[in-house]
C-alpha cells in the first residue's frame, strides 16, 4: 500500500504537532506499546523516538493516525522548506504548509 505523504501537509507554527518522544511521554506509552499500535518492532520505535531512523512512509502515516495528527511525517524532517499546500482540502488557502515531498525544494 502506498501513502501520499504530500497529502498529510500541516500548518506551520501550530503547537499541536510534536516529536514522537514527547507524544509517547505525554501519553505514558513505551516503545512496546507504540510498536503494537503502529505495527512495528519496538526497537524500530526506539530508533524513531530517538531520531536515529526515519520511519518508512507507511509507518509515518500510521504514526500520524495513531497520534491523532499530533506527530506528522514532517515532524521527522526538521529542515524541510515551507511550501503552499497543494491539497484543495487543506483549510484556509494561502496559509503556509510544510510538505513532506522532497521534490518541492
Q: 507524544: which residue's cell?
A: 23
So what's the pLDDT on residue 9? 47
Share of the chain above pLDDT 70, in %: 58
**For residue range 8-59, what is the model confidence (pLDDT) as tens digits?**
444 444 445 789 999 999 999 999 999 999 999 999 999 999 999 999 999 9
Please tell me the distance from the alpha carbon of residue 33 to that of residue 104, in angstroms, as a whole number. 35
So what's the pLDDT on residue 1? 45
Q: Which residue has the higher pLDDT, 101 or 19?
A: 19
55 secondary structure, DSSP code: P
Q: Which domains does the chain have, with CATH numbers?
A: 5-104 (1.10.260.40)
Neighbour count for residue 81 (Cβ, 10 Å) = 9
Amino acid at each position: 500500500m502506498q501513502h501520499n505523504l504530500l497529502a498529510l501537509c500541516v500548518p506551520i507554527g501550530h503547537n499541536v504537532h510534536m516529536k514522537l518522544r514527547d507524544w509517547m511521554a505525554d501519553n505514558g506509552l513505551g516503545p512496546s506499546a507504540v510498536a503494537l499500535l503502529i505495527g512495528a518492532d519496538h526497537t524500530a520505535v526506539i530508533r524513531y523516538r530517538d531520531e536515529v531512523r526515519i520511519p518508512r512512509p507507511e509507518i509515518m502515516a500510521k504514526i500520524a493516525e495513531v497520534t491523532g495528527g499530533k506527530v506528522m511525517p514532517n515532524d521527522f524532517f526538521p529542515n524541510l522548506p515551507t511550501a503552499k499546500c497543494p491539497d484543495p482540502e487543506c483549510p484556509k488557502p494561502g496559509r503556509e504548509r510544510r510538505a513532506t515531498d522532497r521534490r518541492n525544494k
